[in-house]
């Protein structure tokens, strides 16, 4: 069995013309202890504190998975020196790099509850972590495949504000993940339940030409972005 603990809700916002962002940092506790995305290099202290609240030390972490290589998702990998590190499609421990099926477009299985799926789009080597709960629901820790819940209604958030290296792939992978997941923990927002309405909206966006997907010149972040650190207590997804 695996339990999911959100150590930090990610956020992104534009303040006085400058982009501020940090990623969702998630602990999957169970047969393996896995940290997904390690925030910016300035957040080590915060992560250590959050782990202590979950009765773990850095040495208890077996796997680090960074959904992609951007610096707000990889900043504290070096806290976890007993772990294997997956960053995008690559897997290493110390200076040894191991082959994975991710490069061939296949999933990489960590254990029977947790697998890593290639979901390129935001970058060409993005991955999502899928956790199967005891009642067979799937929680997707998606990195920036989904920037935040609001980007389903307003694709300019993921396409233009967050940026996408391969929007055509990202559209497909967004729909694919929404089809299988009951909950999504996005890269820069609180987790949300996936509804059928969201699934159909994402499916509609698969079909070009799509007005919503066309470039809009005046892109603004929604006023209400996620919160600031220090955050509320660690949230555990109960499903
Ligand atoms: Zn990000």
**Residues above pLDDT 70, as percent of the chain:** 88
From the CA of 216, how far away is ligand 1's center (Å)? 21
Sign of CA dihedral 231, 232, 233, 239: negative
From the CA of 183, how far away is ligand 1's center (Å)? 19
Residue 75 lies in domain: 3-91+107-214
Domain contains 120: yes
From the CA of 74, how far away is ligand 1's center (Å)? 10
pLDDT at residue 39 tops 90: yes
Show the DSSP H helices in 6-119 as ranges. 44-53, 71-74
- Integer CA distances (angstroms), 27 to 44, 61, 128, in order: 14, 9, 14
- Separation CA 170–CA 158 (nearest Å): 9
From the CA of 185, how far away is ligand 1's center (Å)? 12
Domain contains 223: no
Domain contains 116: yes
From the CA of 97, how far away is ligand 1's center (Å)? 24
- SS3 breakdown of the chain: % helix, strand, coil, rounded to 5? 25, 30, 45
Q: What is the CATH number of the domain that holds 126?
A: 3.60.15.10
From the CA of 37, how far away is ligand 1's center (Å)? 9
Residue 145 CB contacts under 8 Å (≥ 6 apart), including other chains: 67, 119, 121, 122, 126, 128, 170, 173, 174, 177, 186, 187
Looking at residue 169, its pLDDT comes to 97
End-to-end CA distance of the chain: 12
Q: What is the pLDDT confidence band of residue 231, given thresholds at 50, 70 and 90?
A: very low
From the CA of 131, how far away is ligand 1's center (Å)? 20
From the CA of 191, how far away is ligand 1's center (Å)? 15
* SS3 label, residue 85: strand
From the CA of 170, how far away is ligand 1's center (Å)? 14
| 8-37 pLDDT tens trace | 999 999 999 999 999 999 999 999 999 999
From the CA of 221, how far away is ligand 1's center (Å)? 15
From the CA of 56, how far away is ligand 1's center (Å)? 25
pTM: 0.88
| 99-137 pLDDT tens trace | 999 999 999 999 999 999 999 999 999 999 999 998 899
Decide which of 232 and 82 is more confident.
Answer: 82
Domain contains 121: yes
What is the count of structural domains for the chain? 1
Domain contains 227: no
Looking at residue 208, its pLDDT comes to 65
Average pLDDT, rounded, for the chain: 90
Q: What is the pLDDT confidence band of residue 211, given thresholds at 50, 70 and 90?
A: low
Looking at residue 230, its pLDDT comes to 38
From the CA of 184, how far away is ligand 1's center (Å)? 15
pLDDT at residue 182 tops 80: yes
Domain contains 99: no
Looking at residue 239, its pLDDT comes to 59
Q: Which two tokens stand for residue 64?
A: 């680090």
| 133-166 pLDDT tens trace | 988 999 999 999 999 999 999 999 999 999 999 9
| HSE-CB for 19 with a 13 A CA cutoff | 13
Q: Which two tokens stand for residue 70?
A: 């951007």
Q: Write the burial class of residue 94 (CB in 10 Å: 0-12 exposed, 13-18 middle, 19+ buried).
A: exposed
pLDDT at residue 215 tops 60: no
Q: Which two tokens stand for residue 114?
A: 């947790």
Looking at residue 236, its pLDDT comes to 79
Decide which of 168 and 232 is more confident.
Answer: 168
Residue 4 CB contacts under 8 Å (≥ 6 apart), including other chains: 26, 27, 28, 29, 131, 139, 141, 185, 236, 237
From the CA of 186, how far away is ligand 1's center (Å)? 9
- Separation CA 138–CA 45 (nearest Å): 30
Q: Which residues are paired to 97 by β-bridges?
A: 92
Domain contains 219: no
From the CA of 9, how far away is ligand 1's center (Å)? 12
From the CA of 123, how far away is ligand 1's center (Å)? 10
Domain contains 169: yes
């Amino acid at each position: 069995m695996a339990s999911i603990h959100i150590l930090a809700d990610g956020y992104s916002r534009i303040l006085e013309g400058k982009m501020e962002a940090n990623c969702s940092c998630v602990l999957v506790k169970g047969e393996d202890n896995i940290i997904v995305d390690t925030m910016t290099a300035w957040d080590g202290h915060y992560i250590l504190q959050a782990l202590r609240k979950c009765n773990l030390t850095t040495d208890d972490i077996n796997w680090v998975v960074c959904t992609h290589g951007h610096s707000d998702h990889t900043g504290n990998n070096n806290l976890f020196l007993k772990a294997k590190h997956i960053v995008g499609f690559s897997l290493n421990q110390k200076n040894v790099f191991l082959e994975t099926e991710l490069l061939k477009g296949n999933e990489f299985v960590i254990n029977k509850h947790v697998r890593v799926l290639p979901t390129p789009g935001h970058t060409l080597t993005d991955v999502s972590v899928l956790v199967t709960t005891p009642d067979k629901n799937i929680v997707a820790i998606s990195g920036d495949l989904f920037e935040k819940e609001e980007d389903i209604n307003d694709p300019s958030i993921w396409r233009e504000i967050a940026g996408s290296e391969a929007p055509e792939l990202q559209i497909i992978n967004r729909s694919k993940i929404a089809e299988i997941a009951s909950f999504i923990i996005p890269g820069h927002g609180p987790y949300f339940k996936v509804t059928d309405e969201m699934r159909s909206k994402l499916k509609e966006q698969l079909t070009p030409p799509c007005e919503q997907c066309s470039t809009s010149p005046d892109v603004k972040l929604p006023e209400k972005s996620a919160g600031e650190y220090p955050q509320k207590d660690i949230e555990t997804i109960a499903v």
